[in-house]
Amino acid sequence: MSEIPKPRSTPFCSVRPTPAEPKPARAEAENAIRTLLRWAGDDPDREGLRETPARVARAFDDWFSGYDADPEEYLSRTFEEVDGYDEMITLKDIRFESHCEHHLAPIIGKVHIGYLPNNKVVGISKLARVVEAYSRRLQVQEKMNAQIAHCIQTVLEPQGVAVVIEATHQCMTTRGVHKPGVVMVTSMMLGQFRKNPLTRREFLSVIGNPTTSLDH
């Protein structure tokens, strides 16, 4: 869980990290992929691999499109005519696909988001887009959890935010210890979700209480 929400200058809502060097040209990226294919022991010039460098480069455009997205912008249009509604809003089972920043292996799972509005609500698809923006970057689950929670808290300024992520990590199932079926669960509770056990318990009940250890 987290401490007090960060101010608006927080890096959690930054558009993208600043690279140390300019982005390479696509031809450089494709040549790098050819090198990796050779290093793996295959021939990048054989028929089955001839177009693979270009395909992988295009796949990277999709997998890592979150670097060009602005999560704050997705939440900028809010609705205030909600007739005083101030009860919990929950969006659960938001499926995501990300990649581990340590091995470039897939991370696949779902995100559950809850917040207590404070005169402002946002279209539910925008919450899913925030998840998409952060997940389509090289990630670790804990950091992504914090980024989503702090961004919602910073922009919407609700009474509280709760974010729980359940995911499987292919860096653990396809290499290393080779343990399939393991699900990692992380959570971040801000504001009333952190302070009020009843509010936290209600949220966990709505999302199916993925782990009782969160409710303490």
What are the pLDDT digits (tens) for 13-69?
A: 555 667 778 889 999 999 999 999 999 999 999 999 999 999 999 999 999 999 999
Residues in the chain: 216
Give the active site residues.
100-103, 141, 169, 171
Q: Say how far apart CA 216 and CA 207 lie, in whole Å.
A: 16
What confidence score (pLDDT) does residue 84 get?
A: 78
Which tokens hold the place of 93?
A: 């089972």
What local confidence, expressed as pLDDT, does residue 13 receive?
Answer: 57
- CA distances to 47, 53, 137 from 33, in Å: 16, 5, 19
- CA atoms 85, 86, 92, 95: torsion sign: positive
Q: How far apart are CA 175 and CA 153, in angstroms?
A: 36
| Cβ(106)–Cβ(162) below 8 Å | no
Contact predicate 171/103, CB 8 Å: yes
pLDDT tens per residue across span 160-194: 999 999 999 999 989 888 888 899 999 999 999 99
Lowest mean per-residue pLDDT among 50-59, 82-91, 99-108: 82-91
Q: Which residue is associated with the tokens 């279209």? A: 123
* pTM (predicted TM-score): 0.87
pLDDT at 3 over 50: no
Backbone dihedral angles phi then psi of residue 98, each to the nearest 5 degrees? -135, -175
Q: In the block, which residue shows the tokens 């395909």? A: 55
Residues 164-201, buried b or exposed e (16+ Cβ, 10 A)? Answer: bbbbebbbbbeeeeeeeeeeeebbbbbbbbbeeeebbe
